[in-house]
Amino acid sequence: MSTTVSSSRAAMQDNELFNDDHKAFRQTVRKFAESLAPHAEEWDEKGIFPREVFQEAGKLGLLGIRFDESIGGSGLDWWYTTAMIEEMVHSQSPGVNLALMVQSDMATPIINEIASDELKQEFLAPAIRGERIAALGVSEPGGGSDVASIRTTARRVGDEYVISGQKLWITNGTRADFITLAVRTGPADSGYQGISLMVFPTDVKGFAVGKSIKKIGNKASDTAELFFDECRIPARYLLGHENAGFFHIMTNFQGERLVGAISACAGMEYAVREAIRYGQERTAFGKPIIRNQVWKHKFAEHLTNIEAARRLTYYAVDTIAKKPFEATRAITMAKLFAGDLSQRVMYDCQQFYGGFGYTTEYSIGRWWTDTRLITIGGGTSEVMKEILTKLENM
Active site residue 256: yes
DSSP state of 14: S
β-pair partners for 208: 227
Burial label, 176 (beta-carbon count in 10 A; 0-12, 13-18, 19+): buried
145 touches 379 (CB < 8 A): yes
Amino acid at 135: A
229 touches 208 (CB < 8 A): yes
- Give the closest residue to 317 by CA, choosing from 303, 331, 333: 331
**Quick check: helix, strand or coil at residue 133?**
coil
CA gap 42, 51 in Å, rounded: 15
Contacting residues for 112 by C-beta, under 8 A, at least 6 apart? 66, 67, 68, 71, 73, 120, 124
CA gap 369, 393 in Å, rounded: 35
CA gap 39, 290 in Å, rounded: 29
Q: For 314, how many CA atoms within 13 A lie in the half-sphere containing its CB? A: 15
Q: For 116, how many CA atoms within 13 A lie in the half-sphere containing its CB? A: 11
Where do runs of H (alpha helix) occur along 18-102? 20-36, 40-46, 52-59, 78-88, 94-101
Amino acid at 343: Q
- Measured between its terminal Cα atoms, the distance across the chain in Å is 46
- Give the closest residue to 33 by CA, choosing from 83, 93, 74: 93
Contacting residues for 324 by C-beta, under 8 A, at least 6 apart? 251, 254
Q: Which of 256, 281, 326, 392 is catalytic?
A: 256
- Evaluated on CA atoms 146, 151, 152, 155, the torsion sign reads positive
Catalytic residues: 256
